[in-house]
Structure 1
């Protein structure tokens, strides 16, 4: 009789939705899926970045995402109906694991560098964006932006009033992406009378102090058929200067970009690592006080920064910015320019200097002094 009545009247409305409800309960909520997926990404970033060449594309995510995404997930948890606790745990775990990759400079909230003493050394490091070349930029300037003004370029350099200038991309590029040597030494001597000059590959260092040693640090081999092998082999210029009664080594670095000719490759990854290892080996063997600065083409989230030797301390705490970003000035989401000092040097000032359209990089200005 029961079966007959069900056939006539249909299923009991009190139990008709039970299978569908059970199916819904078996589905993993969207917020939990997202939290677990992001946690997996953060773990893979920690494990693979700087080690696996094929992880170079995920590495390009803006570092701020490693803090912002977990915060967004935690906000979503507040309005979720199910699996809230599990999603919150996954989001908090990804924040704990990835927060240090975000580039957020929490030290800016409390760190106050000591005032600079008399005789402190003023340093300016800057990627010039192909020197003063008005054409052949890696990325075209925004519509309506005039080509770089050579006089403005040198005004900007002189305005830094630096004792030591570490400049990268002392190079032009042709339409076939071929690097072209720059010969602007006469103009540099004219604009900076009394300064001493050191040049290697596409780095140039100017110093008010006498230069006692200069050399390019060779890392990755040049590709076959290169018209300028040094451009590929040398990505750091070491310049030792005599400041008072001490010799200080300044390392002017421009590590290869992870993207070459619009693509990612194993060879490019290996060249980046080789050039950083060569730099690190020279620093470890160098007993002099040292300052390392330049364009590393490496964000806070990228594992290649592990190759910077432990002797060198990151100067970031002296920056006043909570999220220091040096590239691209039109949409500053990435920090790829860095400064490090050995224990003998104290950092009294560190700030980023916008280029006003002369470059896609901000410059780095530091004031340091030698301990006694």
Structure 2
């Protein structure tokens, strides 16, 4: 044999490598299944779980699907000593896949088609405007709002950034000119506009630590409830903007980054508790919509148990709202209905370069 030729690996060594690889895949399946089982238990309860939730939700399905494929190959082409491992891998991957689907944001109801909205249904728009029209053409911004022709607008980030801090914005005169006859409710950076009379507006307040900012209302006001009378029925609309998951202004290699993540998680949970309490004491038909900054399958969504996700009425198999212009892999914007209110035809629309969030649109019947 020439010295330039390489001798084939010994059969025993090759078999050991196959066993090692298969057992590594089994270990991966066990770890993944444990992660999936822990999400509903730890999400929203321990602050550091937020960092795990930053994983694109669709990956929760992709990984067990790949492991299931590998297990199926082992079963269909069994090798000596690997049949048992193949069964273990296939079984664990199948269970992980079943657990992952409800957490992944996949909307399997889309396969059944959309139910058309009934006559007289209201059109609702909820949108994170990303610092209002700052940095954009104001004319384009207002045309974008008007073209949706919504009966109720739930808008977040009615604000600007000045010297690195959020500051109030005053665009009321132009809004009233663009939406004649509409009624307005404003608090902090939340703005609700309604074609129907607003009977009452209430800030749903949580017990929060004092913010280190010149505009306290930006941090303290995260839920604006407006009670709107529609054809004799009072409907409560909750305009929501929960705190972000993390802060890009600090390095993830610094202690400050993790301190801020923990603080934001504390604030988010406190607001969700206050929101839940208000919902439970409110018998009106209701809508909760806005930027929840929660991903599908997050344990923190338990605070909204009993409400119906408006995306169930979407024809999109995988509705995502963020990050427009970047890898669109996350749904951070949500809409829910309850107590006789029902959403129809939910969709996420292109913000035309005005925001990194897609706008939520749907029809509502009561």
Identify the TM-score tier after normalising by the shorter chain.
Answer: 0.7 to 0.9
1:44 Cα deviation after fit: 2.7
1:222 Cα deviation after fit: 4.5
C-alpha distance in 1 between matches for 2:279 and 2:339: 13
Report whether the alignment pairs 1:319 with 2:277: no
1:1-12 matches, cutoff 5 A:
none
1:157 Cα deviation after fit: 0.2
Look up the match of 2:102: 100
Look up the match of 1:369: 365
Look up the match of 1:329: 324
**How far does the alpha carbon of each residue in 1:59-80 deviate from its partner, in whole angstroms, 9 at most, with x for none?**
1111111111111112222445
Contact kept, 8 Å, 1:123 with 1:367, in 2: the verdict is: yes
More divergent stretch after superposition (239-248 vs 219-228): 219-228
Look up the match of 1:189: 176
C-alpha distance in 2 between matches for 1:32 and 1:73: 8
Look up the match of 2:61: 67
More divergent stretch after superposition (67-76 vs 340-349): 340-349
**Alignment TM-score, normalising by the size of structure 1:** 0.85
Report whether the alignment pairs 1:131 with 2:126: no
1:276 Cα deviation after fit: 1.0
Report whether the alignment pairs 1:46 with 2:33: no
Report whether the alignment pairs 1:159 with 2:124: no
Structure 2 unaligned residues grouped into runs of 5+? 1-9, 251-256
1:220-231 matches, cutoff 5 A:
220-231=207-218
C-alpha distance in 2 between matches for 1:297 and 1:224: 19
**How far does the alpha carbon of each residue in 1:58-117 deviate from its partner, in whole angstroms, 9 at most, with x for none?**
111111111111111122224455321111111112112222100000001115324421
Q: Number of residue pairs matched?
A: 338
C-alpha distance in 2 between matches for 1:70 and 1:49: 20
C-alpha distance in 1 between matches for 2:121 and 2:211: 45
Look up the match of 2:123: 122
Q: CA RMSD in A?
A: 2.0
* 3-state SS in 2 of match to 1:349: strand
**How far does the alpha carbon of each residue in 1:241-289 deviate from its partner, in whole angstroms, 9 at most, with x for none?**
1112111111111111111344343221110011111111111111211
Distance 1:52 1:96, change over 3 A: same
Contact kept, 8 Å, 1:122 with 1:164, in 2: the verdict is: yes
Distance 1:25 1:116, change over 3 A: closer
**How far does the alpha carbon of each residue in 1:173-207 deviate from its partner, in whole angstroms, 9 at most, with x for none?**
2343x211111111111111111110011110001
**Alignment TM-score, normalising by the size of structure 2:** 0.87
User: Looking at CA atoms only, which structure, 1 or 2, has the larger radius of gyration?
Assistant: 1
Contact kept, 8 Å, 2:110 with 2:314, in 1: the verdict is: yes
Look up the match of 1:278: 274
Distance 1:23 1:62, change over 3 A: closer
Contact kept, 8 Å, 1:130 with 1:169, in 2: the verdict is: yes
* 3-state SS in 1 of match to 2:295: coil
Look up the match of 1:359: 355
Contact kept, 8 Å, 1:111 with 1:317, in 2: the verdict is: no
C-alpha distance in 2 between matches for 1:38 and 1:340: 29
Distance 1:84 1:194, change over 3 A: same
